[in-house]
Amino acid sequence: MTRLALSLALSLAACSGAGRDSTAGTRPAAPAVHAEPVPSASPAPAPAPAPTPAVEPAPSASPAPAPSPAPQAPPAAREPIELTFVGDVIFGRYRDAGYDPIPGPDDKPFAEIFETMRSDLLVGNLETPLVRDLPDKSPIGAKYRFGASKEMARHLVDGGFTAMSLANNHAFDQRAPGMLESPEILKELGIIALGAARTDAPLFRLETIERKGWKVGFLAVTARRNAPHFEGTPELPFLSTTELEDKLGPLIDAAKTTHDLVIVFIHWGDEYADAPAGYQRTHAKRLLDRGAHLVVGHHPHVLQGIEQYGAGAVAYSLGNFLFENTNAIPRLSGVLRARFTPGPCLEKLTFHPAYIKRAPTKHPAPATGALGKAVKTRMRTLSEGLGTALVDEADDLVLTGFACAGQAAPAPAK
């Protein structure tokens, strides 16, 4: 099918209404680990033949076979690894007057928060479809429609991003060209695309990124979309929240013997809600019980709380990060840092408060002073509502005491 045909098909699909949640590595996988061969000793010289005894000796028993070597476990990662996550990133939106970019060509939107984001692996949600030729007018008629060019996406390189998720409800905003070209453009920039729309099976995939001897598997999915899927067009990894374990559980099971970590990165929930819905909490915990190490959410456009559960945690929404909405609550943001030690063990979660600064152009910046206090108060209060206590550490909030760190697991929230 040509891209023109794909674009036409998607245009027809978008006009039919919005689909909603029904309840509302750059490198290939490493080869199997091989055990180091044990060097064999040099053969001993053959002894001189003994004289024939007068009495025939009894035949000796056959020697017992050598025991099979014990199976070798994959080597554990030797150093801790830190992963950082941010929420929704867009580079511009369409208004009635035309396209309205956020950063200008000479701006550095991530420069002020670069050090806060720095880690072994940085991931965000790219809610702006990328196209090689950005149209002056939106190809769709929705109120909120986004888009960006390859030149704009170069800001992600400057920001140090390792990977960006494309699994979100604005994946359709540039129609077929955006769905097909977004992962291509990211790859050309050296950034890994997670959760891209596909025309080939399987739809849900564990995508691997390797860093510092760790194999980290990502499951990037969306429970929100703005148009239904039309047969024969690229399909988003879309599912309802109640399907999470059924669809992703087998992938988590298979990853237990091949990966060090499994992270679920999900676009879900209700916009501008202070707290996740009860069913979100239920199904997120099922993923952790199944073997995921961390669940990180986005889409509500506001910060929601963090919930500790057993050896893992759920960050329900990281809110906006680079966005055009700078109203009082939506501009409060943050960077989530997860430190894992060999085991693997989630040793510590750190939440770095941030906000969307309005000048000279909109961009994320560390939140200190009164704004920092506002961000911390919101995150601490909302997390307490989920039965989780975040502790002050200088300008940040931290969470420790996970079960795998040799401490008792906190009681599950009811």
Q: Give the CATH number of the domain where residue 303 resides.
A: 3.60.21
Burial per residue of 61-77, b for 16 or more beta-carbon CB atoms within 10 angstroms, e otherwise: eeeeeeeeeeeeeeeeb
Q: What is the CA radius of gyration of the chain?
A: 26
Residue 413 within a domain: no
**Residue 189 buriedness (CB in 10 A; 0-12 / 13-18 / 19+):** middle
pTM of the model: 0.81
Residue 31 within a domain: no
The domain in which residue 176 lies consists of 75-405
Which helix (H) or strand (E) covers residue 152, if one does?
A: helix 150-159
Q: Regarding beta strands 207-211 and 391-393, do their DSSP bridges make them parallel or antiparallel, or are they unpaired?
A: unpaired
User: How far is 223 from 267, CA to CA, in rounded Å?
Assistant: 6
Residue 1 within a domain: no
Residue 107 within a domain: yes
Burial per residue of 125-149, b for 16 or more beta-carbon CB atoms within 10 angstroms, e otherwise: bbbbbbbeebeeebbbeeebbbbbb
- Of 260, 176, 264, 251, which is closest to residue 220 (Cα–Cα)? 264
* pLDDT in the model for residue 5: 44
User: How far is 63 from 27, CA to CA, in rounded Å?
Assistant: 48
User: How far is 13 from 227, CA to CA, in rounded Å?
Assistant: 6
DSSP 241: G
Regions of the chain where pLDDT drops below 50: 1-20, 22-65, 71-72, 405-410, 412-414
CA end-to-end span of the chain, whole Å? 50
Residue 21 within a domain: no
* pLDDT in the model for residue 105: 85
* pLDDT in the model for residue 25: 37
* pLDDT in the model for residue 233: 81
* pLDDT in the model for residue 232: 75
* pLDDT in the model for residue 69: 52
Around Cβ 207, how many Cβ atoms within 10 Å?
19
Percent of the chain as helix, strand, coil, to the nearest 5 = 20, 25, 50
* pLDDT in the model for residue 76: 55
User: How far is 65 from 411, CA to CA, in rounded Å?
Assistant: 51
Count of structural domains within the chain: 1
